[in-house]
Structures are given as structure tokens and as C-alpha cells.
Structure 1
């Protein structure tokens, strides 16, 4: 299975691979949710997958609903990369609910897809998740191996943040194996003075906290756990947040502040129960039970442990489950239930083979239980095993506990003496060894009960002076312990005070942010309202939009808009509604002495009026509804007064500074919209007139273009007529000669004077005449056929395959008479076999226009001019066709305008100025090519076309 996760298929990656962060902040999740609301159907797919992925710990139920919807689109879109991501979502949720089998199956299936796609990011995420599965199963070494492979995948993907997150998690694992080396590596990789993103802090801070605990820095540990807790919640790592909450509770417990510890356990347990994840709830219950046990509340502790045991039954072998068994064993020993304690520690031993520190706890616990059950020899064996393993792994705390239990065993029972010692000296030997080990621990306070135990051992040996000395040492240790407890309590109070102060500051910032967010939301809403209002160019629609949004944003039973008539010096009601009913139109003189509308217009300032409850002055309010609050504001654009807008309501004191600001903003938008609508209405008539003129102009242009096309076709007809004149004239001459010969021969036949020589002569003449006649008629027929094809092409715009040289020859043939008449020559340099799949009629019209343009303009006034038509391939897909003359060329001032419509240098002399414009449009729009012109001084004009062999 391991090879499946790390193997990579040697193939190209899929066209699209979904890339997404491992964790994102809550605000980014909110943005994703807002984005999803705006998307429909298949457009929702990627947003669905991203949101499901980032809700996998925040809201498992919602994540699964989104994943189910995304599945429908994935199959249609063929997005196997997104399907693999959804498998990871489902796998992690199954893991959170302790379904390891299904979680592992789906992770491996997703990993196979990511490997086939060559998606290193996805493969790394699969390895990250399978490491969690292995860890929860208690397979710590395998989990570490998977993290090593995930690190490699993330490096191949070039994802720096994922690389750092994995490194932090690796260091967190290593703290339990080698605390000193892990602390040093942690400082090198993640210096404490650096700032890190929330997703990374959630992983780095717990490792820093554990390192602080091991270096006896509890305040720093709590601070780091707090940072980890809030960073984990902010980045959607709810499971990590729960672990940090438990560690905070445990840290306060170690400082003797059980009250604060219980507050944090309540917080963690409440969050865990909301998730319904059995492992997380069980871990929180384990922490609660530990504090309850220290407080002597054994029944409550047992209830917590029994519930945790049921919840974590599927996690047998995980570290948390092993710690749960240890807690059960210790509780049973505390209440004197030694057999139950022995059973718990025996089960712990069977499951903790690969976890040295827990195996030491299991053997030490068994030794304690066996001692109280009177099985001293077995107890001694387990204590010695615990001592040996603790020494092998340099676990000083477990060494001290194992030595003390050995001392208890030898103090109460007559057992074989350890090697090199007398049995009577074994107890004191182990106690002094425990004292020696304790003295090697920096900053460790030797507990008073160890000195008391040594004093008792000396008293049992009748060495009362030594017993007295150690009794004094025990008293000193108790005094020192009380001082340390007091110091810890003071430290806990200080930390708790700092935490509460930080929480109060955070809450203050949250309230400020909330107020800012509400203000921002209002501004954003006003912006959207403004865009809607100013988007309309119809005055009635502007009024309706203003009325609708006024009622959405403000309290208003009456809404009125007056527009000013400068000529009449009055304000006329243009729109008015009260409780949804239209108000009668009113005209108010601008100099009205008591009208608030007139006053607002004159002063160009907002007017806000709050009437007393018993005020009956209804002249201030249109309609019959009692009004307590009135608000008026001018409609001004660029210092121009357009009118006044007013709202009124029966609610007392309804309008304050916020409402006034909103109303002024609406008035500003309304003024702009009304001004735009008026300008549009004024411009619409002018636009209609302009449109009519443009339509007439386009019609005239179309007629001229059609005439130009017919003129071009007329030129072809004239050319064909001239070309047909010779073969048909020769045919007539031959036919006439043959007719005369036949008549003479027939006369000779009638007279009976036909000789053999006459017959031979007639037959020979008839044969020659017929041969000549056939050649002339074939040539005429060929000319007619070519003209017919050319005419069809230029009038039908059909697409077909044609030979470029043949098409050029046909056009040149039809224009030969015009060339000869002007005394010019044309040379065609186009190779045979250049086949094109295009529009020959359009091509012929362009070539014809260019040749005629050269004759009329370029070679005007020149004798024996030359036109060169040159064609060649350009690459595999295009041809270049050049039409060049050796005439007078085109001046620089005219060169850029030759393709403009109606531009000609022979205006009034028969030139329409449309020939080259038509050619330009045909080349670009029909033939899908390009055309340009150059005219070097003294070298004539050179038109160059680049055309595709197939128009596609």
C-alpha cells in the first residue's frame, strides 16, 4: 500500500488540476460562500469543491452536502482531479468519526488518481491525511514515514507553505521522542521572533509550547498554546484547536489553577460535542477526568473516563486511547480498586509495545497494583522492567517513580536481595538512587514525600540521627514546595489576567471590526444602489428605483420628488407616493415663504424636521397621514439645481446622522441619474436624425459599391467581346469561303464536268477549311467557358478549389484588350499547381481591380508600361501574390489613404474611389487574408496580398 502512495505514473498531467490551499482563513471561506451563491449549474463545480474542502473540519455535514452536489458536475465535466479531492474530503470526515477502514480506503483511492495525474500537491495532501489515520491508530512510526513522503511531494509541487506545515508537524512528533533535539531543531527552523501565517502557527505553536514545558517555562507554554488555539480556529483546523484547548487546561492545572483549567476544559468539551467527533470528545473528557481526580472528585472522573472509553473504542492503540487506559488505572489505584487498576495497566502494556514512555507507565502501574495485592515478587519484576526501560530512554521521572516503588516493595516484604546488596539495604539503596536521579534534573524540586520516605527507611533501620536529618530535609522541601505552589498560583493568576486582558482587547477589536464591517456593508449597498439608479436613462425608471431603495434603506411613508422650472421660477411635483398611493401634482413657487420644499431649493441645503407628538400642522406634509419626521435635500449636479427630494414618516425622531448621510447619497445618485436621463432624452432625437442620415448614406454607399461591381463585370464583358472577335470573324471568313467553293463544285457536278482533279481539290479545300473552322470555334468556345466560370464566380460568391495560375490567366485574358489598347504589357509569374480552397470570384474581382487600378492610375501617361503579377508559397499554409507596376507610384501623403472609401485622385474624372476599398474588404472579410501597399520613390506601386490556401 505504501508503494501505491509514492509511485508516480510516467504520463503527462491532466489539462486541468485543481489547486487549493491546505487551510485558509474564515474570511476567505465566507468569500467562497458568497461566490457560490452567484454561480449556477456547472459553473459551480470548482467553487463547490473548494468550499467542501475547506469546510471539512469547520462543518462536516455541510461539506458532505456540497461534495454530493459537486459529484453530479464532476462526472459530466470529466474532472477526475476534483473527484479525487472530494474523496479526501470524505476520507477526513470518516477519520474524524473514527471510521479508519473507510477513511484509509478513500485516501488510497484519491492518492492513485493524483499519482496518475502527476499532481504532487494532491499526492502530498493524501499522504498528510494517511499520516493522521496512522497516528490515530497508534502507528506512530508509520505516520512519521508518511509525513516524510508528504514533505517530498510538497517540495516537488513547489508549495512552500505546505512544506513548512509538514516540517512543523514532524517537529511536534519528535518532541515526544527527543525533546532536546526537537527544541533545537524547532528554533532553527521556526525562530520564535518570526511572524507566521495562521495555518502555520496552528502547527508551530504547539511544538514551541511542548518545548517550553520541557524547559520549565509554563507561561511561555500557555501563550504558545493560546496562539495555536486561536490560529487553528481561524484557519479551520478545529481538531488542532481542541488539542490546544486541552493543553491550556492541563498547563493551568500544573500551575495549581484548577478553576481556570476547568474553564478551558468546558470550552474544549463544548466545542468537541458540537463536532460530534468521538476521538475529540474522548480526549477532552480525559483532560476533565484528570483534573477531577486531582480534586478528589473520583465519581465524576470515573464517569468522564467511562464515556471516553466508549467513544474511543475504535481507536484502540492510539496514544490518546493509551493515555485513557493509564488514567483509568491511576484512578482505580487511588480508590483502592487494585484489581481493576492492574487490568487497565495490563491492557495498556499489550497495546503500548512501540511507545516506550507509555510502556514504562504500564509496568510501573502494574508494580503498584501488584504490591497492594500482596504479590511482591511480581511487583518487583515489573518495577525492575520499568526502571530498565526508563534508564534506556533517559526518562528521569519514570526512573524516580520506579525506584521508589522498588523501595516500597523491599520495605514491606522479605525478598531476595539485589545483586551486590544486602536485603536490608535494598530499600535505602533504591531511595538514595532516586534522590541522586532527582538531583540531576535542572530546576527540579525534590518532593518532600521522598525525603519522608527515606527518613522512614532510616528509622526502620534504627538509624535515628539520619532519620532526623531527612525529616528536617522533608520539612524544608515542604516549605519550598509551598513557596513554589504559591509562586505557581501567582503565575497562573498573572497568565490568566493577561489572557483575559488579551481576550478583552480581541473582543474590542472584534466589535470595532463589526462596526466597520456594517459601515462597509452600508457603503457597498449604497454603491450597488448608485450603480442601479445611474444605469437607467429613463426618468420614470429613475423615480421608481429611488422610491424602492429609499424604502429599503430608510423609514419613509411618503416619498416625493420636485423638479425645478427655471422659466416659471417654480418647483413641480414630478413623482409622489404616500403609503403606495400617488399624490396629486403640486406646483410650489420658488419664493414660497413657508414651504420647506422652496426653502430647501433656495438654501441648497438639507432640511431635517422633527415635530412634536401633538403638532397638527399638516400644511407641511402632503396627504393626510400624520407625520413626525421630515427630511428634504436638494438635487444638485455641477452646481446646477435640478429639484428637491423629500421623505417623511409618522415615526418620531426617525432620522439621525446615519439616515441623513444615506439620504444625501441617494439624492446625489438621483441627481446624476435625472441629469443623465434628461440629457439622453434631448440627445435621443438628435441621434434618431443622425441614424436616419447614416442609413441613407449607407444605402448610397451600397448602391455605389454595386455599380462598381457591375462596372468590373462590364470590363470583363468588353474584354471577352474583344477576344471573341478574332476567332468568330475567322470562322465566318472560312465558312463563307467554304460556301463559295461548295457552290462552284455543285455547279460542275450538275454540268457533268467534274474531273478527278476537281474532286480532289474540293475535298482538300473542304478538309482545310473544316480544320481551321474547328480551331476557331474551339477557341471561341474555350473563351466563352472561361468567361462563364468567371462570371459565375463573381456573381455567386461560391467557394471551390482552384489553381491559382489558371485563375490569374482567366482574369488577365479578359483584360488583354484593355492592356493592348493602352499599350502596356503584363507578365505573369505564378507557378502551376498552387491549389487554393477559397472564393475564386472574390479573388478574381480583387485581382481585376488591382490590374485596372494600375492601368488607370499607375501607368496613366506612360507608354509601354509593365505590370508584373508574381505568386509564391509562404510556409505551408499561405501564398503571397504581388501586383506591381513601373508607373508613377503613389505619393506619401496618399499612400495611407488608398484603401479608404471614396478616396480617389481622379474625382470627377470617372473615378469612384471604391475599387481599392472593395478589394481591401474582400481580402480581409472573405478571403481571410491581408493586403498592403508600398510605393518606393520612382519604382511604381507594389500591392502585396497574403492569403491562406484554405479559408478554414
Structure 2
């Protein structure tokens, strides 16, 4: 019979009971009771009673049956210990040990010594603990049981860590390398030992990782007591790292688990630590209630570490509340307990006791006594490499010298005793990995330097204090992030394993059940409607389990309340008001907060036998969180009036259904959200396309308006010249007519008039032809840009027309444009689209390319690229485009002239026209000192 087995093995033992009878059934009863001794004391004792009754009916017992009787005595002894009945535990264990020795059962003898070690731990007798474990190790070696040998060696190292963590760490690596594979029963103690070494050598992040591992593995292999210790120690490390939220969460987990076991020592231990975190949160009244309740529960355990931790907590709490005398009394009592049991070998608590007394004596204005106690604590902390203890002792000594006039300490290395001790404290702080320099410590050092007249050093330390103050928030966040990362890493690593293990514990024993659950999972997770999911879950829960009430509560959007989404009781729908997530009495809220299953078995005479919202009396209640990864959706629960209706098998089935339900509900919510989002997206896309079309049309009209303004300016010159020539010709004609009427026309006058008329007519024709050409070009460009018609055109001619339209704007801006387009490049494409692109690029260069007073040059070059394409390069010698902007110039609404006339659409529209209308592509570059270069490659025949 093993010391501890996995939960899945317990499930197998449960199922075998139904198939056995006679002696085989008796052996199975004892085996199952033994494995349930920490998992479920009530059930274990009931099975033990059943086995004892069966043993009485067997007249002639063989050795094996006597071994079973001895094992039952050992089981009862351990349960008595769990309930803090030391006298009964010792007596039953002695009887079991006597029987095992008589039967020459080496494993039984070793297990008895193992239990003795636990008894001595609770009594605070560590020397006897070590001796008992040594005796167990001898027996296990004689029995040749390698697993038990491993377990007892690992447990040895847990206690050794408190005496010498550094040496224990070396022994751990030598005996149990970190990369080795170990059974869960061994790993529980190994993880505890590694965590203790890490915590006592100031590596809190690693300690959390191993404590949480010990918690998970301990639960899985039935070592509930160690799981409780591990969870509380992890909470302590979280608190030290500043993650009080995680610390409080694990305190609640531990206390809930302890209360469920009803073990007074464990409940007291958890209450002490809950009081500690309440103290840190300055909730002194609640902290005192927890500590006082714990000390009452632990009075029977005087001398145990748990009781001493309670005294330590009481002393710290009294000092925090300003009760110096009461604090001194508590720490003095702690010292007396530790010295009374000097074999305990736990110097960390003695350092705390002396530091606490020193602090109380300081508060009571007894400086000499305070210095004496603090110095004793400092020396002990140094002997055991306890950095935290050294820091506390040195700080108290510095405070005492600062407040009272005392002789200088021996070997003082600073201008004042206060500064001497603060500097020593600073040195110790620097040795702790991850421990940030304190703002308060630097401030006190600065004040000490100022008191000595060293104002330069005071100023430097004040600056260091300010820097430390700025770093405080980021350091706190970093520590909390590290703590959360470690917590999530361990939980994530074990969550899936635990779930599969729980499911496998049930499913491996029954092919039919496996097939059924597989079918159920596929059906449930295929549902895309929440109501259909609820109905499917209810139907299958009702088929597979003893259920009279089935409810599902879902977390609201504010994440602070749970509302009933579905409820059936005795076949009828039920409703209920929501419950707050922080409700201290709601089992639904507790399950959601703890994010783990809650199984409650009530006694028939228990007052809490009604289930809200109905009136059904319930004795078995099972709650499971609906989780998707770390995200909580809600809680699912089943209840029944049957007594102890839910065991490991039922729990595994229910957790499997809960997992399927969570996936299905999340899928349903995602599907509904996707449908809503798709509708909104379709509407937004339609509106976007409409807006984009309007913007493009506006940009086209704006471009055309710019051309109109340019053409009007260009027409002013030839038309004005034509008017001037026509006016001059008219005046000459009127004057010549008057001469004819007067009859004094000479030949020279006639010749002059004819020559002037010829010159004026010639000039007038040239001006009018130029105006007509401008109008013809504009008409073609305007038609092209507004009609998007495809036609044959010459690239050179089209570029000339566009440049002509923009020539006035170029002259007005003081820039020059050079056109260099090869002749004979015929295009079968969209001239309007092409013209808009070219005009946008030229205007973009005018607006964005040059400094205010710069006279720039823009060049447009075009040439053939093979037989099928042409390449057009628009380049300016302006300021260029910055590296931060060049990758975004084609994005819609991107402009460096926002609010100054730039829309951010010109280049975006050009990019779209080139890609989608003209079938080409455009690229941009901006070498240092060479302006911007846009290169366009177009097919000569548009696709």
C-alpha cells in the first residue's frame, strides 16, 4: 500500500468496490480508506468502520488481515492528528507501531515513524522529527521501497532548509537534480524544499513557482495538508513582492480549503496568514479577529511553528496599532516558546522575536534595551545569512540612535551612529536580488548627513531618494508582473494537465462513458445559441448524474456580479436575483472568485440544507467555474438531496461538461458578436465606399477647377494682346478714313496704313490662334478628366497640354518645369485619368516640395520601356520627403499641410488611378539632397 496515490487511482479504487466481495472487498475498503484519509476524513472513517466490522466477522485472521487492522489504526491516528487530538493520535500510532513490529511489516513500521514526524512537527519538536524520519528511512530501505525512500529524503530537506538554506540547496541539487522526473508524491516535498530554499535565500520569484507546483501536485496526490502549507507560503511570497491581490486570493483559497477539511491546526494556520494580509492592508480590526481566532484554535499546539507564527503575527499587529506593551508581551512570549524548544532550530523566528522586542522597547523609550535586542537579532541574522532580518535589526538600531543620545557603537565608520547603521543597512539591501533601494532609507540617510553638517552628501542622497521615489511605481509593477507571470506560468502548465487527468480518471475505466462524453462534447460545442447550450447541458447532466437542481450563472459586463441565465429545479424553471461577485456567503460567488470547483457535502442535521432560489433541501452541492483559459464566463452548479452523491467520478464528469459548456457558450457569444459586427461592417463599408467616391469626385473637380483658373490666366495674355492690336487698328482706320474724306491722302500715307494693317492683322491672328489652341487643349483635358473615356493619344502631346494648363501656377510660384518626353509614344488608355495623375504630381511638388523662397525645378521625363510599357519620372529638386513620411505618402488623408490647404487625397487618388484604371504602378524615392522622385510605369495599352 503506497503512502500517497493520484486522484485517478482513487477513482479506480472507488469503481472496484462495486465489483468485489469477501476478503477482496475488505482489502479494497482499507486501501480506499487509507488513500482518502486527507482527501475526505469523514468518508475514510466510514470506510474504516465498515472494514472493522467486516474484520470482526472473520474468526481466523491471517497475517494480511492483521496488517489491514494495523493499517486502520494508523489511518485513525493520522485523522486524530489532523483534528489536533494529539493524545489520541499518539496512542493509536503506538498501537499500530506495535502491531507492525509484531507482524514484521517494515513498510508499516516506516509509515508509523512517518506519522510520528508529523506529530512532532505539530508539537514543535524538530529534533524528534528528524529522528523519526531517520527511523522511517531505515525501515523503507529494509523493505526496499525506493519511492518511500525518495519521499522521506525529500521531506528531510524541507525541514533542513529552515536551518541552513544554502547547504540544503546544494544537497537538493546533488540528490534530486532539477531536471529529473519524480512521482507526484515525491515532487510535493521536493517542490516545498526548493521553494523554502529560494524564499530563505531571497529568490521570491522562484519560491512562488515551486510553492504553487507543490500546491497543485499535493492536491493531486492526496497530500492536502502540504497543499495548504504551499498555497499559504506562495501567498506570503506574493505579498512580499507587492502583489497583495494575488496574496489575498491565495489566502482565501487556503482558508476555504482548510475550513472544508475542518482541521483546527490548518484553519488556525490559514487564519494567522489571513490576519497578516489584513494587517498589511491596514484592516487592523479584521486582522485581530483572525489572529485571536487562530490562537484559540492553536492553544493545543503550543510549541508548534504554527502557534509561534500566531504569536509573531499578534506582536506585529499590536505594534502596528501602537500598542507597544502588548506587542512586547507577544514577542517575549514568542521568544520564550522558541527557547523552550531550542531544538526547533528555526532562527528566522527568533530574529523576528528579538527585532519585535527591540521595536517595542524603542516605542517604550528604553533605548539601551532596544539596542541590546536589535544587536542580538543582527548577529543571529548574520550567522544564518538572513538579509531581511539584518535589515530590520539595523534599521531599529539607526532609529534608536537617531531618537536617543547613546554611546557610539564599536567600530563606527561614519560621522554618526545613525548614519553608521543606515549605511550598513544600505549594503545589505544591495545584496538582495530584486529588492529596490528604499526611498525612505535614502531620505533617512540624507537627514543623517544633514544632521552631521555634510550638506553635499545630504543633497546627493536626497536626489537618490527622489530617483528611488520615481522608480517605486515601476519597480512595484515589475515585481507584480513577475509574480503574476510566475503564477500564470505554473497555473497554465498544470491547468490542462489537471483537467485531462481528472477526466481520464473517470473515462479510462469505461469505454461507454468515454464515447458518451465525446458525443456530448461534439453536440454541445456545435451549438451556436446560448439557450440551446443550456438545454443540452441540462439534458446530459440529468442523464449522467444525480441531479434535482441545475443552474447556470453568467458574469455580467461589469465583471462584478453573477446573474442566473438558466435554472431548472425538479423539472421546473426557476429564477433568481443576481449575486455580487464579492458576496461572502454565496457559494456561486465563491466558486467564481476561486476559479475552481467547490464540492460541499452537508450532514443531514446541518442547518444549511436549503438551496436558493427554490425550497429544495440539498445535501450534496457541486459548483464548477465556466472558464476559457483564464477568462471567467460564469458558474454551473448541480445539487441533490442525496447524501454524499458526488465522488471523484461525478466530479470528473461534471468538470468535463463544464469545460464543454464554457467552450460552447463562448462560441455562441462569439457567433452572435460576429453577426452583429458583420452587419455593422457591411454598413460601414457601404458608407465608406460612398464617401470615398464623393471625395474622389470632389478631388477631380478641384483639379479641374485648378486647370480652369490656369487656363483663364493663360488666355488673358493673347486675348488682351488681341484687344490692344484691334483697338490700334481701329484708331488707324478711323484716322485714315478722315484723311480720305478730307481729300488729302498721299501715297506714303496709304502705304503706311496698309503696312500697319498687315502687321496688326498678322499679330491679331497669332494671338487669336494661341487662344484658340489653349481653349482646344483645355476642352480636351476637361472632357478627358470628367468623362473617363478611353482613346488613342500621344504621350508627349498629352503631357504638353497638362503642363500648359499649369504654367500660370508654376510662374506664380516662381518655379520652372522642364518637359522631356520622347516623340511617337502612342497610348491606348485613359487620357483623363493620366492627366489627373500628372497634374496631381506637379501640384504636389509645387505645394510640398520647395521652401518658401526657393526657385525650384520640376522635370517630367518620359520614355519607352520595352515594347509594351512607358516610364514617366516626375522629379523635383526640393526638400525631399523624410524617412518617417515616405512610407505613408500614398495613404488617404496623409498630409504635412493639414489645415493649410492640403487634403491628403491627391497622391492617394493618383495611386488608385494608376493601379486600378491605368493598370500600372507607382513608386517614390527621396535620396538625400535630391528632392522627391516619383516613377510611374504604365502599359501602352490599358488592360
Query: TM-score normalised to the size of structure 2?
Result: 0.51
Hey, what does 2:194 align to over in structure 1?
208
User: Which residue pairs with 1:872 in the alignment?
Assistant: none
The alpha-carbon deviation at position 469 of structure 1 amounts to 2.1
Distance in 2 between the 1:443 and 1:139 partners?
35
Shift in Å at residue 475 of structure 1?
Answer: 2.5
Query: In structure 2, how many angstroms separate the alpha carbons of the residues matched to 1:137 and 1:100?
Result: 9
- Structure 1, residues 503-525: CA drift from partner, whole Å, max 9, x if none? 66457647975995697234899
SS of residue in 2 equivalent to 1:374: coil
Q: 2:336 aligns with which of 316, 330, 350?
A: 350
Q: What displacement does 1:465 show?
A: 2.2
Aligned to 1:910: none
Does residue 165 of structure 1 match 2:139? Answer: no
With over 3 angstroms needed to count, the CA separation of the structure-2 counterparts of 1:29 and 1:349, relative to structure 1, is same
What does residue range 780-799 of structure 1 map to in structure 2 within 5 Å?
Answer: none
1:34 alignment partner, one of 15, 22, 27: 15
Partner of 1:7: none
Give CA deviations for 1:140-193 in whole Å, capped at 9, x if unaligned: 122112111211111111000000001111111111111111112112222222
Does residue 439 of structure 2 align to residue 448 of structure 1? Answer: yes
Map Cα deviations across residues 871-927 of structure 1 (whole Å, 9 max, x no partner): xxxxxxxxxxxxxxxxxxxxxxxxxxxxxxxxxxxxxxxxxxxxxxxxxxxxxxxxx
In the alignment, what sits opposite 2:261?
275
- Corresponding residue SS for 1:352: helix
The count of aligned residue pairs is 509
In the other structure, the counterpart of 2:36 is 55
The answer to whether the 8 A contact 1:410-1:423 is kept is no
Partner of 1:44: 25
Q: 1:74 to 1:377 in 2, by over 3 A?
A: same
TM alignment of 1:715-864, pairs within 5 A: none
Partner of 1:490: 481
- Is 1:296 matched with 2:282? yes
Answer whether contact 2:325 2:360 (CA < 8 A) is retained. Answer: yes
Larger radius of gyration: 1
Instruction: Flag the 1:410–1:243 CA change in 2: closer, same or farther, 3 A.
Output: same
Distance 1:253 1:134 in 2: 29
Q: Hey, what does 1:364 align to over in structure 2?
A: 355
CA deviation map 1:216-259 (0-9, x unaligned): 55444333223222211121111111112212322332332222
Task: Give the whole-Å Cα distance in 2 for the aligned partners of 1:180 and 1:500.
Answer: 28
Closer, same or farther in 2 for the Cα pair 1:418/1:253, shift >3 Å?
A: closer
Helix, strand or coil: the match of 1:192?
coil
Contact persistence 1:366–1:379 (CA under 8 A): yes
Taking a change above 3 Å as real, the CA distance of residues 216 and 351 of structure 1, as seen in their structure-2 partners, is closer
Q: Residue 423 and residue 164 in structure 1: after superposition, are their counterparts in 2 closer, same or farther (change >3 A)?
A: closer
1:215/1:342 CA distance change after superposition, 3 Å: closer
Which residue of the partner structure matches residue 160 of structure 2?
174
**Separation in 1, partners of 2:114, 2:438:** 43
CA distance in 2, matches of 1:417, 1:477: 30
Taking the aligned partners of 1:124 and 1:161, their CA distance within structure 2 comes to 13
Secondary structure at the aligned position of 2:378 is classed as: helix
Which of 36, 47, 53 in structure 2 is aligned with 1:66? 47
Q: Cα deviation per residue 1:741-794 (whole Å; 9 max; x = unaligned)?
A: xxxxxxxxxxxxxxxxxxxxxxxxxxxxxxxxxxxxxxxxxxxxxxxxxxxxxx
How far has the Cα of 1:133 moved from its partner?
Answer: 0.6
- Partner secondary structure for residue 290 of structure 2: helix
Once residues 23 and 281 of structure 2 are traced to their aligned partners in structure 1, the CA distance between those partners, rounded to angstroms, is: 59
Write out per-residue CA displacement over residues 9-43 of structure 1, whole angstroms, 9 at most, x where no aligned residue. Answer: xxxxxxxxxxx111112222222222233444555
* Paired position in structure 2 for 1:115: 101
2:514 and 2:465 map into 1 onto residues whose CA distance is: 71
Contact 2:8–2:501 (8 Å) recurs in 1 = no
Preserved contact between residue 415 and residue 423 of structure 1 (Cα < 8 Å): no
**Residue 428, structure 1, aligned to residue 419, structure 2:** yes
1:562-616 Cα distance to aligned partner (Å, 9 max, x none)? xxxxxxxxxxxxxxxxxxxxxxxxxxxxxxxxxxxxxxxxxxxxxxxxxxxxxxx
Residue 98 (str. 1) matches residue 94 (str. 2): no
* Counterpart check, 1:415 vs 2:377: no
Residue 391 of structure 1 pairs with residue 382 of structure 2 = yes
Please tell me whether the aligned partners of residues 357 and 395 of structure 1 are also in contact (alpha carbons under 8 angstroms).
yes
- The partner residue of 1:154 within 140, 159, 166 is 140
Change (3 A) 1:447 1:314: same
3-state SS, counterpart of residue 416 of structure 2: helix
Between the aligned partners of 2:413 and 2:222, the Cα distance in structure 1 is: 62
Where does 1:622-771 land on structure 2 (aligned, <5 Å)?
A: none
C-alpha distance in 1 between matches for 2:276 and 2:182: 33
- Structure 1 50/205 Cα, relative in aligned 2: closer, same or farther at 3 Å? same
Match of 1:85 among 56, 59, 71: 71
CA–CA distance in structure 2, aligned partners of residues 334 and 70 of structure 1:
54
Structure 2 counterpart of 1:257: 243
Alignment of 1:507-518 (within 5 A): 509=500, 513=504
Give the secondary-structure state (helix, strand or coil) at the position aligned to 2:178: coil
2:297 paired with 1:306: no
Is 1:479 aligned to residue 470 of structure 2?
yes
Kindly tell me: are residues 44 and 272 of structure 1, through their superposed partners in 2, closer, same or farther at Cα, counting changes over 3 Å? same
- Using the TM superposition, give the Cα deviation of residue 397 of structure 1 relative to its aligned residue in structure 2, in angstroms: 2.1
Q: Which residue in the other structure is 2:5 paired with?
A: 24
Output one character per residue of 1:421-458: Cα deviation in whole Å (capped at 9) or x when no partner.
69983222222232333344455433232222222222
CA distance in 2, matches of 1:281, 1:169: 22
> Which of 316, 320, 337 pairs up with 1:334?
320
Change (3 A) 1:485 1:516: same
Between the aligned partners of 1:483 and 1:341, the Cα distance in structure 2 is 34
| Contact residue 351 and residue 381 of structure 2 kept, 8 A | yes
Q: Cα offset for 1:264?
A: 1.9
Q: Secondary structure at the match of 2:388?
A: helix
CA-based RMSD of the aligned residues comes to: 2.8
Distance 1:279 1:113 in 2: 28
Q: Does the Cα contact within 8 Å between 2:508 and 2:514 map onto a contact in 1? A: no
Q: In 2, distance between residues paired with 1:70 and 1:294?
A: 49
Greater RCO, CA 8 A, separation 6+ = 2
